[in-house]
Amino acid sequence: MINVIAIVTTQPGKRAELLHAIHRNLLAIRAEDGCIEFGPTIDASGPRDLQVPLGDDVLVLVEKWASVEALEAHLQAPHMIEYFARTQALVAHAVVHVLSAA
């Protein structure tokens, strides 16, 4: 199993629009072979001593995949190719971390 943390910074004021596009695609993503978990997250209220806010234009995708191959297939799925084409103008910057258990 692998974990993916994708930190996405949207163009100013575009986070809600990107979240809407993600939510429209969730059922297709979660139905993919090898998808264990996939969900968008945003800042929550947390302990002041612990929380470092990401900001109003940032979201984090938290994902778990059965394998790197499943992740690679996900990125090539027709619904993802269409999603990337439709949303690329909303994204200012993205950083993706692919992680395994330590």
Query: Hey, where are the domains in the chain?
Result: 2-99
Summarize the confidence of residues 1-5 as an average pLDDT.
Answer: 98
Helix (H) or strand (E) holding 64: strand 58-65
Q: What is the pTM of this model?
A: 0.92
Summarize the confidence of residues 86-97 as an average pLDDT.
Answer: 98
Average pLDDT of the chain is 96
Which pair of structure tokens corresponds to residue 49?
């001593």
Q: What is the pLDDT of residue 49?
A: 77
Q: Is pLDDT at 9 greater than 80 in this prediction?
A: yes
CA 62 – CA 89 distance, rounded (Å): 22
Architecture of domain 2-99: 2-Layer Sandwich (3.30)
Q: Is pLDDT at 32 greater than 90 in this prediction?
A: yes
